[in-house]
Chain A
């Protein structure tokens, strides 16, 4: 069982290094995840900071309850900026020491820019390759693409961005998590990818349907990620042993979220199919025809 004092002390120390920090809660989880990784294998502090992978990266219930505790004690407070909730120092904490002071200093100094710091954690430590590819290379890029192009500006000059996004999505499909728990999820993901492929073609036309199609693609991408994140924590590589007692409840939650995903993907695909009616299509060449016929030949029994 984690000691109740160790984690609040680590959080206070983050703000001791940089009292001006305004961090989303996910960043505090990520910093302490890095701190835990830096501890030697036999350090008891490792067990005091159990994590699982969730929607925004590594997550610890111990860190969550420690943040609540620090808020209650008036050390941290929430501040809302541009719709985001950030944790800021409310009262300068008394100097505290910790077992991993040097590491924590190094990590806190390296968290700018925050998005790159979280992305690096996904790339270096996520238990499945699907996670950085989908969360960072696809969703974050798609969100950035939309944010940088206000409605009505998805014109033909945006081809390069669309091509990269589409490539990134197919790269995710190539590394889906091949575990029995994810069989149904993988089928829904593939259905989503087929729809998104058409949405990117609509975007290339630059027609009025382009912007809503890309917005819908992004909204469903987030839903898909939330379901995945609810499932990946159940797998043994997705959580520390401390959370074994939660698995049954997590699995029930995952099944419920998954059953709500299927109709969303179907509705998205219907909408995209309707919007794609007038999308121009290229003629197949010899190689694509051979590829397709080889697949069909394997599919239909001889």
Chain B
């Protein structure tokens, strides 16, 4: 296995907290030593965008709920009220991903949400501040771990070109056909660009994206010589994520 790894956004995001979800392997993968981890400015920007959108989705939802609930909600029907308002707000969201984020947030924080709705304005504000603090902490952690600095836990390279039309036109077009998902036709070549221009050794592209990348692993490895594609679970001895 190559000792240089290029991390996709889902690995960086997934490793921000130690959690018990299906993607727990991302956190444990980041605890493993023996790899030199890299990523690109593009991936960093994607992570920051994702975290910002988490905050926006939840703040908009909390605002919507606050404006919609009666002054003194009935505790006996509060769960139905939350479900109804959540359903309505989800229908306003165009992106399936944002819907999933909101659904998961409400499901996992229902008790806090219920208490905030039944409590004082200060309690509601405190809950909102905790949401903000959670995202701020994640953004701070991303900034600390992922820097354009050879000693950073994840070296964030700022040298990758904006697109690969001039640099690797054939590879980009072949990837577009194989992946069918435009953003990945830039992120995957970032790893190849770094392999060729900076690292000059084999690089493993680490991702949890099954639909666009892991499923097309062999084709990507064929198009981009010297790149291997793996999910983080592949590096955990004796277990799979």
Contact = CB atoms under 8 A, between A and B. Distances in A.
Interface of A: 167, 170, 173-176, 178, 186-187, 190-191, 193-194, 197-198, 201, 269, 273, 276, 279, 281-282, 284, 287-302
B135 to A, nearest CB: 7
A173 B52 CA distance: 10
A284 B132 CA distance: 12
Interface stretch (B54-62, B68-76, B220-228): B54-62
A301 B211 contact: yes
B52 A193 contact: yes
B100 A176 contact: no
B132 A197 contact: yes
Contacts of B10: 300
A302 B63 contact: no
Interface of B: 10, 13-14, 16-17, 19-23, 48-56, 58-60, 62-63, 92, 97, 100-105, 107-109, 112, 128-141, 143-144, 208-211
A225 to B, nearest CB: 18
Given A193-B55, A295-B58, A297-B22, 20 more contacts: A170-B132, A173-B60, A174-B60, A174-B63, A191-B48, A191-B52, A198-B143, A269-B48, A279-B140, A282-B137, A288-B137, A290-B108, A294-B105, A295-B101, A296-B23, A297-B21, A298-B103, A300-B13, A301-B209, A301-B211
B126 to A, nearest CB: 9
B56 A299 contact: no
B12 to A, nearest CB: 11
Q: A-B pairs with the 10 shortest C-beta distances?
A: A298-B104, A294-B108, A293-B19, A298-B101, A174-B63, A288-B134, A174-B59, A190-B52, A291-B134, A292-B134
Contacts of A291: 58, 105, 108-109, 130-131, 134
Nearest to A294: B108
Contacts of A282: 133, 137
For the residues of A in contact with B, the DSSP-based class is helix
Contacts of B209: 301
Contacts of A279: 140
11 contacts: A170-B128, A176-B60, A190-B49, A190-B55, A194-B139, A293-B19, A293-B21, A295-B58, A295-B105, A297-B108, A299-B50
A296 B16 contact: yes
A292 B17 contact: yes
Contacts of B133: 282, 284, 288
Contacts, number: 138
A163 B16 CA distance: 26
A294 B20 CA distance: 10
A293 B108 contact: yes
A186 B21 CA distance: 30
Nearest to A298: B104
A292 B135 contact: yes
A281 B108 contact: no
Contacts of B17: 284, 289, 292-293, 296
A282 to B, nearest CB: 7
A273 to B, nearest CB: 6
A174 B65 CA distance: 11
Nearest to B138: A292
B73 to A, nearest CB: 20
A287 B100 contact: no
Contacts of B139: 194, 197-198
B100 A298 contact: yes
Nearest to A266: B45
B53 A190 contact: yes
A295 B54 contact: yes
Nearest to A190: B52
Contacts of B51: 194
A176 B56 contact: yes
